[in-house]
Structure 1
Amino acid sequence: MRGVATTLKEQGLDAAALFAEVGLSIDDLDDCDRRWPTEELSRLWVLAAERSGNPDIGLAKFDAPRPHNYGVAGYAMMSSPNLLTGLTRLIRYMCLVSDAVAITLEQGDGGRWVRTDVFGGECPIPRQRYDYGVVNLLNLCRWMLDRPLTPLSTRFSHAVPMSIAAYNRAFQSPLEFDAPFNGFLVSEQDLACKLTTSAPELAAIHDRIADEALERLVRTDIAHRARAAIAKLLPDGSPLRSAIAAELGLSDRTFQRRLADEGLSFSDLVEDTRRELAQRHLADARMTLTDIGYLLGYSDQSTFFRASNRWFGESPGEYRSRVMEGHRRDIALARGT
C-alpha cells in the first residue's frame, strides 16, 4: 500500500484524498501490521484511473525498484542465491505482504510462469491492480539481478486495451491479453542466475524473522491457503472440509479450530471462494456460463443462477453485461472521450 500511495502521488494525484474517498486513511500506512480491505483497494485503483485520465496508471512508474514494499518477504528473497530460490521464498512468505494475493510458479515453454492471482472480495478486480502487481514483481527481479530481464512472454486476463504502448515499454516481451491468468514467463537460464543481492549470511536471519511473523499470522495464512485449495477442488463438486484439511496438511479437527479462531466457518469460506471465482470468470468473455458453473462446482445451471442472484443481485448474464460495460467505459477513457 505504501507503493500504491507513492505511485498516486508521483502521478500528481492527492493520495490522501483518494484514500479517504474509498473509506481508507493514508495515516494507516505507518502501521506495518495493518491489513487493508481488498475491495477498497480495487475501488482505489478504479478511482485513480478515472481522476488521472490514465487507464495505464498501474504501469506509470515501472522503472522504480521498491523492494522495501515487500517487507521481510522481500529481504528474504533478496538474500537468496538465485532468482528461482528467491521467488520460492517470496511465495512462501507472500501472505506477510498480502493475504489477498497469491504468487505461484507454473511450468511453461522454456521456463516457468510467475503467476499472480488476486482475491477481490465483493468487487471486480480492475486491470490497473494486476498491471501494478505484475510489473512491480518483474521489476524487483530485474533489480536483484542488476541487469535487463526480458520475459519470454507476459499474460493478462483482461481484454486488450486500446493502446499497448505502456505494456511494451514495461515488459519488452510478447504480450497476451484475454489470457487464463496474469503473469510473466521467465527462462530457466534467468531463474538459475545468481542475484547480486545474495547474502547467505543473512538468509537464515531473514528466514527466522519471516517464520516468526508467519507464526503470528497463521490463522490468516490458513484461510488464504484454504481458498486456493477450495478453488482447486471445486470442479469436482463442493469439497469436504476434511479434503481441504488434508490439502493443507492438517487434521480436520485442527483445521476447524483454526477457522473458528478466525471467526470463519467452512461453508462461508466455500461461498466466498465461489463468489470471487465467479467474478473473475464472468469478466472473461471467452468462458461460457456452463463452463463457469462447472468450475464453481455446480451440477446444474439453476443452482449457479440462484447463487449469482444471492451474490450480486442479478443473473450471471446481467452481471457479465455490467462488467463488459465497465470495460467499454475504460476504452472510452483511453480515447479521451
Structure 2
Amino acid sequence: MADQESRIAAEKLTQLIKYCNTKLDRHDFSILIAEQFHPGMFHALGYAMMSSNTLQDALERIAHYKRVVSNTCKLVNYEENGQFIFEMQIITYETTNRPVLSLVTVETFLATILRFSRELVTLDFSPIKICFTYAKPDHDVTYLEDFFNCEIEFSSDKTAIYFDLEQTKEKLLCGNPLITQSHEKMLDEFMARLDKNDLTHVIKNKIFELLPLGAPSQTDIADYLGMSLRNLQRKLHDQGTSYKEILESTRKKLAMDYIVQQHLSLSEIGYLVGFSSVGNFNRAFKRWTNQTPGDYRQGKKA
C-alpha cells in the first residue's frame, strides 16, 4: 500500500472477490466494490475523466490511458446504430486461450465504469445493455440486473457496455479543460515510466520518427529492433496488440494533435502522418472520427 502507483494483480483481485463472496455468503461483492467508487481509484485518470466535457470524452480517455489501470485488456470505443459501445477485449493466456480476467473481475470493472458514469451524468443513469463473453453463472444474477438496470446478455460475442449515443455526447456541468490537461500531464509522465521498457512504446516512438518519410512497414520496425518479423508479431500478440493497430493509433493521435494547429494545411498533416495523398488521409480521418478533416477543424473553430 506504500506505493500509490502499484496495481494489484488480476488473479489476486479475483481471489479476493471470490473469498469475500464465500465469507459473506453472497455473490455481489463485485458490485459492493463498484459502489465505493472514488476517482482516485483510477489514479490521476479518475480526475481527468471527472473533468471531461462529455461522457464520451471520459470513456475515450480511459481507453487511451487504460494501462494506468490495467494491462490485461484493450478498451475500444465506437459508435454503431445510435449507440456508443465501450468494449473490453480481454487478453487470453497463450497456452490455454483462457481469458486472464475472470467474470467477477470483469463485473467489478464494468460496474465501476457505470458507477463513474452515474457520478458524471445522473445517479439514475443506465446503459442500454451489458454483454459478457462469459457463460451465465450457476448462481442467481439478480444483483447484476438490479445494479446495471438494463438487459444483461451472457455468452455474447463481446464484453461491452452499450450506451445511448446522444446521452454520451451531452455536455457535462463538471467539464473543465484546464483540470483535464493538468491531470493528463501527470498521466503522460506516469505512462512514460510504465513505457520505459515497453515494446509498444518503443515502436510508437520509431513510427513517430519515420512517418514524415512514409508509413514504416512491420519489417522495417523488426529490422530496427534487431528481431525477426515472426518474433515481433508474437511479442505484440502477447501484449494484446498488433503492428497494424499501433500504426493506426499513432497516426490518429498525431492527426488529432495536428488538426487543431491552424497553420498546418490538411495536405501537410497528411504528409506528416505518413499518407501519400490527401485522399488517403481524408478517408482515414473519416474512419477515425466520422468527419472529414475539414469539417472536424471547422467544428473546433466554432
Give the TM-score, by structure 1 length: 0.56
Give 1:192 shift: 0.9
What is the CA–CA distance in structure 2 between the aligned matches of 1:45 and 1:107, rounded to whole Å?
33
Are 1:144 and 2:120 an aligned pair? yes
Are 1:269 and 2:235 an aligned pair? yes
Contact in 1 for aligned 2:68/2:190 (Cα 8 Å):
yes
What is the CA–CA distance in structure 1 between the aligned matches of 2:201 and 2:66, rounded to whole Å?
11
Give 1:255 shift: 6.5
What is the CA–CA distance in structure 2 between the aligned matches of 1:104 and 1:153, rounded to whole Å?
16
What is the CA–CA distance in structure 2 between the aligned matches of 1:155 and 1:86, rounded to whole Å?
20
Of 42, 45, 53 in structure 1, the residue corresponding to residue 17 of structure 2 is 45
Aligned-partner SS, 1:185? strand
Deviations 1:58-109 (A, max 9, x none): 1235433322111111111112111111111121111112222322113333
Matches within 5 A, 1:318-329: none
Q: Share of identical aligned residues, percent?
A: 19
Are 1:84 and 2:56 an aligned pair? yes
Partner of 1:66: 38
Matches within 5 A, 1:1-337: 29-119=1-91, 121=93, 124=99, 125-161=101-137, 162-219=139-196, 222-223=199-200, 266=232, 269=235, 272=238
- Paired amino acid for 1:207: E
The runs of at least 4 aligned residues of structure 1 exceeding 6 Å deviation read 255-260
Give 1:36 shift: 3.6
What is the CA–CA distance in structure 1 between the aligned matches of 2:222 and 2:2, rounded to whole Å?
33
- Paired amino acid for 2:66: M
Sort the Cα spacing of 1:118 and 1:206 in 2 relative to 1 into closer, same or farther, 3 A.
same
Equivalenced residue count is 223
Q: Give structure 2 stretches of 5+ with no counterpart.
A: 241-302
Contact in 2 for aligned 1:155/1:183 (Cα 8 Å):
yes
- Paired amino acid for 2:151: P
- Paired amino acid for 1:56: D
What is the CA–CA distance in structure 2 between the aligned matches of 1:256 and 1:103, rounded to whole Å?
29
Give 1:151 shift: 0.6
Over the residues paired in the alignment, what is the CA RMSD in angstroms? 3.4
Aligned-partner SS, 2:43? helix
What is the CA–CA distance in structure 2 between the aligned matches of 1:133 and 1:219, rounded to whole Å?
27
What is the CA–CA distance in structure 1 between the aligned matches of 2:168 and 2:66, rounded to whole Å?
19
